[in-house]
Amino acid sequence: MAQTAGIIAEYNPLHNGHAYQIQKTKELSGAAYCVAVMSGDFVQRGAPAIYDKYTRTRMALACGADLVIELPPVFSACSAEDFAACGITLLDRLGVDTVCFGSECGSIEPLMKTAGILCENPKAYETALADRLRNGLSFPQARADALAEYCKASDSESGAESLASDNESGAESLLSFPNNILGVEYCKALIRRGSRIKPLTILRRGDGYHETELADGTVFPSAPALRQILASSDTEYIRSNFTRISQSIPAPALSLIRDAVPMCSNDFSALLSQRLLELQLRQIPLSGFLDVSEDLAARINRQTLVFSGFEDRVLALKTRQYTYTRVSRALLHILLGITEEEALDRKSRDYVSYIRILGLRRSAQPLLSQIKKAAELPLITKTADAASILDRDALRDFRRDLYFSHLYQAALAAKSGRKVPNEYTASVVVVP
């Protein structure tokens, strides 16, 4: 069987760094094929993807991916832990050999060591984490601080080299960077599954993830900086930045977005307001939705009749404890109707109940044949076939996932004024 490598990604949008990762993944793993598990229409920061999933699938295939699989929306717009766990589950059940991801540390050892500690969840670490959360720290900061304290105490007792030392791989520093955090979650998922997949990491190059300015000559940009330009309604602003954009996005991907319509959270503002009003009228508690605590639910309820845009609602609700991303995800889960109960149910059934193929390279047909034999889950290439392929629970999951995509497509059609294919009329993307 041909060696296969996997990448878990959003391609929001795809840029030079992503194309470089695909190339290096094949090179370092020696794999003949690269499978991309890609978020569908909603992404991990709690927002719609800037371009629809079929456009982004074409980008991935044009830049070297051989097969693109959809990461279901319930977990694509979720915490780093569940996003990573779902992605690893898909790759594991597809039967891939290697998973490759970018990181700021560029080394797999500290990521695996940190993941091992977090999987073990020792009492001393658990206590330190609880103390920091009680003191009002956000979960990411509380976890980084607690892990640093635990490693320092643990390693000083054993005399081992400390993860908490003042260097690039120190525990606190390690969990201060977004790609490292996600890398640790991938490693945790592999450990917990007892997966045979081998993890590889490549050093992230170029601008930091949170960089919001696209400088002249930038080759490896941050996705937020690109989104800020591409999602702008000011065509002159986009035109004035076109040289910077063209230096940052591979030509095959750039050609695909010339006619694509970018989406942002504010394109869902009216839908969110309607949803909040409906839930208030029906007296449905917001705390039942995923990532919505009792306290956050109360704060959202107080803001229901403040008819602002999606992003302004997030800013009004953001606090030291509730980060922008946490609030954005909570509001998106309310909008989509994703409950804590639904997420727990899917997790109890190993996150995924089917595999949805979004696109493939024609030259990768042998890979598709290989996956059909090795995959532990039913493969969906035609939406209409789902009812005859899936069992009751899987079919329910599938129809829910179609609903999420149809909401995105409705908003896209309203914004663009174009006829947008739905999940029954859109075809699997196939490129040479």
Do 294 and 418 have their domain in common? no
Q: pLDDT (tens digit, 9 = 90+) per residue, 49-99? A: 999 999 999 999 999 999 999 999 999 999 999 999 999 999 999 999 999
Do 114 and 92 have their domain in common? no
Is there a contact between 224 and 235 (Cβ–Cβ < 8 Å)? no
Do 152 and 279 have their domain in common? no
Q: By residue range, what is the domain housing residue 320?
A: 265-346
Do 322 and 355 have their domain in common? no
> What gap in Å lies between CA 88 and CA 95, rounded to an integer?
11
Q: pLDDT (tens digit, 9 = 90+) per residue, 328-374? A: 999 999 999 999 999 999 999 999 999 999 999 999 999 999 988 88
Q: pLDDT (tens digit, 9 = 90+) per residue, 151-195? A: 877 766 655 555 544 434 466 678 888 899 999 999 999 999 999
Q: What is the total count of domains within the chain? A: 3
Q: pLDDT (tens digit, 9 = 90+) per residue, 252-270? A: 999 999 889 999 999 999 9
| Residue 165: per-residue pLDDT | 44
* pLDDT: which is higher, 291 or 164: 291
| Residue 138: per-residue pLDDT | 79
| Residue 167: per-residue pLDDT | 39
| Residue 208: per-residue pLDDT | 62
What is the band of 320 on the pLDDT scale with cuts at 50, 70, 90? confident
Three-class secondary structure assignment of 177-231: CHHHHHHHHHHHHHHHHCCCCEEEEEECCCCCCCCCCCCCCCCCCCHHHHHHHHC
Burial code (b: 16+ CB inside 10 Å, e: under 16) for 199-219 equals bebbebebbebeeeebeeebe
Do 8 and 86 have their domain in common? yes
| Residue 218: per-residue pLDDT | 73
Do 74 and 206 have their domain in common? yes
Three-class SS state of 135: coil
How far the first Cα of the chain sits from its last, in Å, is 22
Quick one: tokens of 244? Answer: 């910077």
* pLDDT: which is higher, 61 or 236: 61
| Residue 252: per-residue pLDDT | 94
| Residue 32: per-residue pLDDT | 95
* pLDDT: which is higher, 151 or 406: 406
Question: If you average pLDDT over residues 92-108, what whole number do you get?
Answer: 95
- DSSP single-letter state for residue 338: -
Do 324 and 413 have their domain in common? no
Quick one: tokens of 30? Answer: 């020696």
Do 206 and 98 have their domain in common? yes
Calculate what percentage of the chain has a pLDDT beyond 90: 75
Q: Please report whether residue 363 resides in a domain.
A: yes
Do 357 and 413 have their domain in common? yes
| Residue 18: per-residue pLDDT | 96
Q: Please report whether residue 23 resides in a domain.
A: yes
Three-class SS state of 71: strand
Q: Please report whether residue 183 resides in a domain.
A: no
Q: Please report whether residue 94 resides in a domain.
A: yes
Inform me whether the pLDDT recorded for 199 exceeds 60. yes
| Residue 241: per-residue pLDDT | 86
Average pLDDT, the chain: 91
pTM of the full predicted structure? Answer: 0.92
**Domain end call among 346, 366, 383:** 346
| Residue 139: per-residue pLDDT | 83
Do 113 and 99 have their domain in common? no
Question: If you average pLDDT over residues 3-11, what whole number do you get?
Answer: 97
